[in-house]
Structure formats: structure tokens, C-alpha cells
Amino acid sequence: MLKRFVSHINTQHFPYTHSLLFELKKKKRKLKSRKPPQRDSAAIALRESRCKMADANMNNTETEHVSIDSEAAHVISSAVECHGDDDDVGALHDVVKGLPSHAVKDLLSVGVCTRCILRLFGIGGNIYSISVISPSILNSVIGEQRHDEEISSNSKELEFEEVLCALCLGILQFTYCDDKEIPVKKGNANDMAVAISELVKREGYQIDSFSLEVSVPPIILENEHSVRLYMKRKYGTETWFQGGPLSQSISAKDALKFSLAKPLETMLDCKSGISNFRIRLTFSHKASKVVQSVAVSKQGCKRIKTGTGSSVDSLDDSVAGDIKCSDLADATVERSFDGLQDNESSECFKFPLEKVNDACRLVLLCQRTPIYFGGRYLKYSRNVSQTRWIIDDERMGEASVEEIIGSNIQPLCQGDNYKFHAAGREDIDVRMLGSGRPFLVEVQNARRIPSEAFVREIETNINNLENKLVGVKNLKVVGIEGWTMMHEGEAEKQKQYAALVWISRPLEDVDLDSISSLKDMQILQGTPIRVLHRRSPLQREKIIHWMKIERIGGSSQYFLLHLCTQAGTYIKEFVHGDLGRTHPSIGSILGCRAEILQLDVTDVKMDCFLTE
């Protein structure tokens, strides 16, 4: 195969083909020195792709540079990933030799950094994490550096590195300002990954995977569009450009992810990908304010719904503003620039790019998506509210279900805070018995991953509290589907009650029969007087599915009323009638005055968290 290449190709005119031959020869020498490994399908595919590209170049011997099409970019990226750490310089050499040298020199001259040049030509993979990438290395590979310039190569490299990239604003040079506006320069991707991994470990996160999220200033998208227009106008007629390399370019976000993913995987000892643990890097730049405001105003500004007490909200206002504004602007700005890809006459984009004097501000945030604990709670006290209840700085009741359960879950999970959700609610003076009421506790940004034994420990701690105000059953860790299941069943559920009732006359046997004979009785309830101050005055139709009366020995005017109703029925008002706002009522059915003295919820009929 090597002989066939040499006999048909003038390597002087095909620098990339020359690098392929060099690599094949190098691999051949390595194979001679050790036992040949088994050739897998990936290796075969890589070699066939290289041969295919070389054959294609034989048919165009008058062209000065190779066409870097999408397939070629993929092959180059694969080749880079096959190199070990000892072959980093060789891998970089092979990649750069395949690029049009005059275009590379042009981009360097206008202040574009080496990693941005690679990504503009669609080169992906682990090459971005190589520490030796610098303009001087790139110049030496493409033969641009003369002998008299080599003498001062060290000073030139330093000079290159001190200039912020006009395209990525220093992001791919690992230069930024921290949250205190102090400039920070990391030597390479490994150094930046060390800082990130130290934060993760310092926060005490237990992780088995992570996802890397990057948000960049909108000005970078503007700069990229300007560079594409410039390259198209200047090199659009050349063969290498017609192969469409710029259409396969890598975004600054993805290039930074390529740079950091591999070293982070090594340092954190886990894989990156889709994960409930997110490492988010949010870059902002003052030059983006105009671009961002224009794009957002065109798309229409919409409020971003954020959870109260989230990690973003816990940051200072300026930092939180950067993150929220970036979240809002990223999508709208990208949509705006997508519509301008082929607009060469746009006056919004100018070239050459402006010199960058200030690095981007970086906000580094580690956060785990919420963990949900689902189960059923029981409330044994008539002086405990479901949620924390404060009126005029005075607590109502001695405790709340929310605080008792949440305060036992959050510390063990080492979360930032928690939210309590339940399928309906009972009044503070109503007990919740029987099978319990379904609930969810949403723990935000938990550091500890709950195991099955860990969940059992939490349930035991709650049920063994001395005051015995609240208990839990069937506690488990659930996904977001638990939320959906609970709220879908909430509207359809039935609830059973036991009420202690007093009537103004003695109870008769005929009363028991008249009450128990009523099935699926429809009632009409106006908003109760006791909640009119916080709820709209509406008329609601509800269904009483069944009722029965249980006598109390030694009393003719007191009895227990057992009933099953549609969710959302006001039971107290159904007993006494609420001055005629609920009809019919127990009082109107029995033809006397009726009052409810105590009420217990004995069952919430929902197929939700019934078993462990």
C-alpha cells in the first residue's frame, strides 16, 4: 500500500497525504517491534478512510491544498484520539499538516488562537486537551517559522499566549476572571480541570458520572459569523474551501468540553455524559451586552421560572444575573445568528475582529438535579399544620409535617434546601390516619447519593421521634415520574373520613337508614366563609359516594359519621351547611342543626406510594 502511494503521489503538493504516509510508516515500525494486536473494526475503518482520502487527492494534482471535508475532519479527530500521551506532539503535527497553511497563517495574524483554528476546520476530539498547542508550535509545523525567528521562539510563544483570542475571548486559552474580577490564567486544560475537580471534592459530592455544561457570551457567535464571511469571501473559490470545512466547525462550547472532559474523567474517576450531576461553566463578557440585548428584544423577553432557594438564587445578585441572563440569551442569540449564516451583506458583522483586552468572567457552579423522596405521611396531632404556618410573626401550631420530615431528610442528604409537596391537605386540627397521604420531598443539590439502607434510616428516625406527632410509610427515592403520578391521581382520588357529629335532637333508627341509603349524592358547595379571604367565591359540584352512621354508646345526640367523598369536598361545611352555602348537608337531610366536633382523614385512595 505504501509503495502504491509513493509511486502515484507528489507529496510536495499534498502535505496532508504526506502526513498520512508518515503516520502509516510510523505505525509499521511500531508493529515490527511488538506482536501485532488484533485489528478491530474501528482500526480497519480508520485505515480505509485514510486510503480513500489519499486516492481522492490523486485525482487533483494541480491543487495546492487538500479539501478538508467532513469525512476528513472525522478521520483526523479519530486519529488524534488513537494517540497516547507520549504522541501528543506527533498527533498535533499530523492534524496541522492537513490544513491549508496560508489560511492558518491568515487566521493567526488576526488574533485567532490555535484551538479556534482547529475548531473552525471541524477538528474534534481529544486534541483540544493537548498541552503543547500554541501558535509557535503551529507555525513550526506549517513551515512558517524561519531560522532567525527560531532564536526567539520562547519569547514569541509568550507573546502569543498573552494576547487574548479575538474569536473565543480567551476561553480556549483557559484565561478568565473569577467572581472577584481577578484575572486567572491556567497553563492548559489539565490545570483548569484540577481547579474544577477540587471544587467538586471540596463540596463533598458523591458522584458516579457528570455532565459538563458550558455557556459562552453571544459576542463569540457574532465573531464566528464574521470569520466565516471573511473566509468565504477570500477563499471561497479555492478547492479546499469548497469541501465545506467551515460548515463542519466545532462550537466554542464543544471545544471547551473536548478540552476538559477527558482530564475531568481521570481526576473524578467517573465518566461524563447524561447525568444528574452537572458542572456548569458560565462565561460572560461586557462586550456581549449589546448583542445579547438586541437578540433578546427581537425574540421577546420572557420570565424564567426558577425554584425558590435554588443554587443560582443563593449566589450574589450579579453572579445570579449572569447565569440567568446567559440561560435566556443563549438560545435566542443562536436562533438569531442561525438566520444570518448566508447573509453576506449584513453590516452588523465587521472584520478584522476587535482586539480583546478583558477576559471573560467565569462563574463555576456544581449542582445535582433534585432528588425526590416519596412516601405517605400520617399526622397524629390536631395541633400540627401540613406546612410551616406563620401569621404576623407568630407560629400557628407546635410544628408542621413539612418541617418534621424535611429536617430529617435534608441534613443526611447534605442538600442546600428542600421543598415539600403533598396530594392535597388537611386542616391543622384534622388528623391524617389510615394509609396516610402521599407526599414528595424535593432535595435540591444533594451531595450524598441515597442508598436503600440510607432511606430506611431516615424513615426509622422520623418514626422514632419522641413527640410522635408525625409518621411516614413506604419512604423511597423516586424519579420525576413520582411527581407526575402523584398529581395525576390527585384530581381523581377519593377520600374517606370519620367525623364526630352533634345534632340538636336525639338520633333515631330511621336517620341511620336515610343516611346510608344515599349513594353518589351530588352536592353544591360555595366557597366556605372561613376561606373566602384567600379563595375566589365559586360554586363547586362535588359527590358524596357513600355514608354510614355509627352510634356512640351512652349518647343519643353524638355519633360518628363515616363517609367517602370526591377529592376537594369541604367536609366541615357538608355537616353544618355553612349558613346554606352547602346544599344538601347533614343538617338539612336530618332536618335539624348539626355541628362537627372532630374530623379524621382515614384513607386517601390513590395508587401512589402504597408499597415499599
**% of the chain surpassing 70 pLDDT:** 69
According to the model, what pLDDT value does residue 362 have? 94
Handedness of CA 304, 218, 283, 209 (dihedral sign): positive
Does this model's pTM top 0.75? My answer is no
Consecutive H or E run containing 185: strand 183-185
According to the model, what pLDDT value does residue 77 have? 47
3-state helix, strand, coil in the chain (%, to 5): 45, 20, 35
Per-residue pLDDT, averaged over 515-522, amounts to 95
The span from the CA of 418 to the CA of 606, in Å, is 24
Q: Which three cell numbers stand for residue 312?
A: 443560582
Consecutive H or E run containing 589: helix 586-590
Residue 94 has pLDDT above 80, yes or no: no
Which residue from 517, 522, 494, 498 is spatially nearest to 606, judged by alpha carbons?
494
Q: How confident is the model at residue 334 (pLDDT cuts 50, 70, 90)?
A: low
Per-residue pLDDT, averaged over 141-166, amounts to 52
Residue 315 has pLDDT above 90, yes or no: no
Buried-state track 301-336, b at ≥16 Cβ within 10 A, e below 16: eeeeeeeeebbbeebeeebbebbbbbebbbebbeeb
* Segment 252-305, tens digit of pLDDT: 999 999 999 999 999 999 999 999 999 999 999 887 655 544 444 444 444 434
Which residue from 215, 445, 442 is spatially nearest to 333, judged by alpha carbons?
215
* Segment 56-72, tens digit of pLDDT: 444 433 333 444 444 44
Residue 415 has pLDDT above 60, yes or no: yes
According to the model, what pLDDT value does residue 138 have? 65
* Segment 23-38, tens digit of pLDDT: 444 454 455 445 444 4
Which residue from 34, 85, 35, 75 is spatially nearest to 52, judged by alpha carbons?
75
Phi-psi region of 117 (alpha: psi -120 to 50; beta: other; left: phi over 0): alpha
Q: How confident is the model at residue 597 (pLDDT cuts 50, 70, 90)?
A: very high
Contact 296, 329 (CB under 8 A): yes
Active site residues: 427
Residue 490 has pLDDT above 80, yes or no: no
Q: How confident is the model at residue 365 (pLDDT cuts 50, 70, 90)?
A: very high
Burial (CB count <10 Å: 0-12, 13-18, 19+), residue 278: middle
